[in-house]
């Protein structure tokens, strides 16, 4: 086994130093290496880590912090089961174990370099794209225009809204387009599902799009981009399907001939032969 593969399998003990509530069911956890501080391992935007708590469970999560941040790693985690329920009850100062990095990354140093970028996210789907967005903001001169379309069911479900408003929107030529599914008191922004809003905004097809959200959103965003004339070779997406073995053996995470754990989670859409079932 290659050294890098062996290192990926060795759990590292991480201390959770900060927990912030983003939405009613999403919290963002800041983790540093217990032994010496800093990040547990280097990663690239789009990659994931396996977080575990002995006796509770383990699961894969996108690393939402940018690799340009070497002080800590962050994970935005939706409460939905054994491990995530436990994590949502924990206090800062406690340890977890962490393995990684897993999966491929968005091609920020190759195909995306110099391109006009369009990020499209729904709900917790912002987590992997936040890593790319902050990487692109860090190396801003290496990329063209940046547009971010982000939507959620309600204002309360918009993850990282403080950072979006104070650090992204209108800074360094970054355009943010927020939307929520249904009108709500106190919200004077756009109201529409993300795919409809993408069509309304009507972006030029010279942009390269990066999409993440629930499968049903991804499906309709891809249709919207096709309607606008986008070639699927200019569209990337990342999937958060259920995984078990994590090494391409159990068939739990397959989409057609591809396995999210082995071939992804990031895919260029012209290379996909089908999309996952909607949930
Ligand atoms: C590559 C990748 C990246 C991910 N990134 C994130 C992230 O950044 N933030 C985040 O909150 N989650 C993310 N997930 C999803 C996360 O791994 C699962 O939600 C995980 O099951 C939670 O563990 P648990 O023990 O709390 O839930 P469990 O107790 O295992 O399951 C809870 C419930 O959710 C269902 N379920 C579990 N996983 C999924 C899924 N992926 N899709 C649909 N239903 C599911 C189960 O059937 C069950 O009903 C990611 C998954 C993958 C594969
Ligand atoms: S998780 Fe087993 S094949 Fe992908």
Nearest C-alpha neighbor of 230 from the set 209, 245, 210 = 209
3-state secondary structure of 237: strand
Q: Is the CB of 261 under 6 A from ligand 2?
A: yes
pLDDT at 276: 67
Residue nearest to atom 2 of ligand 1 (CA): 240
| DSSP-derived secondary structure for 68-96 | T--S-EEEEEE--SHHHHHHHH--TT-EE
Please state the φ and ψ torsions of residue 87, each to the nearest 5 degrees: -60, -40
Q: Determine contact, residues 159/124, Cβ cutoff 8 Å.
A: yes
113 CA → ligand 1 middle, Å: 31
Please give the Cα distance from 207 to 138 (Å, whole number).
20
Q: Is the CB of 250 under 6 A from ligand 2?
A: yes
67 CA → ligand 1 middle, Å: 23
Q: Probe ligand 2: pick from 104, 239, 257, 261, max atoms within 8 Å of CB?
A: 261
Cα–Cα distances in Å, from 117 out to 52, 85, 168, 225, 236?
34, 35, 14, 13, 11
Which ligand has an atom closest to residue 80 CA? Answer: 1
Q: Is the CB of 46 under 6 A from ligand 2?
A: no
58 CA → ligand 2 middle, Å: 14
pLDDT at 204: 96
- pTM for the predicted model, two decimal places: 0.93
Which ligand has an atom closest to residue 101 CA? Answer: 1
Angle, CA 256 vertex, CA 223 and CA 209 arms, to 5°: 35
Q: Is the CB of 253 under 6 A from ligand 2?
A: yes
pLDDT at 277: 65
165 CA → ligand 1 middle, Å: 28
Q: Is the CB of 252 under 6 A from ligand 2?
A: yes
10-residue mean pLDDT series, the chain (279 residues):
66 96 96 94 95 93 97 97 96 96 95 98 97 98 98 96 95 96 94 98 97 94 97 93 75 83 90 68
Which ligand has an atom closest to residue 244 CA? Answer: 2
What residues have CB less than 8 Å from 188, skipping those under 6 apart?
none
59 CA → ligand 1 middle, Å: 7
Q: Determine contact, residues 69/57, Cβ cutoff 8 Å.
A: no
Q: Is the CB of 158 under 6 A from ligand 1?
A: no
Nearest C-alpha neighbor of 168 from the set 149, 182, 151 = 149
Q: Is the CB of 243 under 6 A from ligand 2?
A: yes
Nearest C-alpha neighbor of 75 from the set 16, 25, 152, 8 = 16
């Amino acid at each position: 086994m290659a050294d890098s593969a062996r290192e990926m399998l060795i759990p590292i003990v991480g201390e959770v130093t900060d927990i912030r509530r983003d939405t009613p069911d999403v919290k963002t956890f800041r983790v540093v290496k217990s032994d010496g501080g800093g990040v547990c391992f280097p990663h690239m935007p789009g990659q994931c880590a396996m977080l575990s708590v002995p006796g509770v469970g383990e699961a894969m999560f996108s690393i939402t912090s940018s690799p340009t941040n070497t002080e800590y790693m962050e994970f935005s985690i939706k409460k939905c089961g054994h491990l995530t329920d436990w994590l949502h009850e924990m206090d800062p100062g406690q340890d977890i174990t962490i393995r990684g990095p897993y999966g491929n990354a968005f091609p920020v140093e190759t195909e995306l370099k110099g391109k006009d970028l369009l990020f499209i996210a729904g709900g917790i789907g912002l987590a992997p794209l936040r890593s790319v967005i902050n990487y692109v903001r860090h190396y801003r001169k290496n990329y063209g225009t940046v547009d971010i379309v982000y939507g959620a069911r309600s204002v309360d479900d918009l993850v990282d809204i403080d950072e979006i408003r104070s650090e992204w929107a209108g800074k360094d030529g970054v355009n943010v387009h927020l939307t929520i599914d249904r009108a709500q008191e106190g919200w004077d922004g756009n109201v529409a599902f993300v795919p409809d809003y993408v069509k309304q905004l009507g972006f030029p097809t010279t942009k390269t799009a990066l999409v993440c959200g629930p499968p049903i959103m991804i499906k309709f965003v891809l249709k919207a981009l096709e309607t606008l004339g986008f070639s699927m070779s200019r569209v990337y997406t990342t999937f958060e399907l259920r995984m078990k073995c994590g090494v391409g053996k159990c068939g739990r995470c397959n989409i057609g001939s591809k396995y999210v754990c082995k071939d992804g989670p990031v895919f260029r859409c012209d290379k996909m032969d089908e999309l996952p079932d909607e949930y």
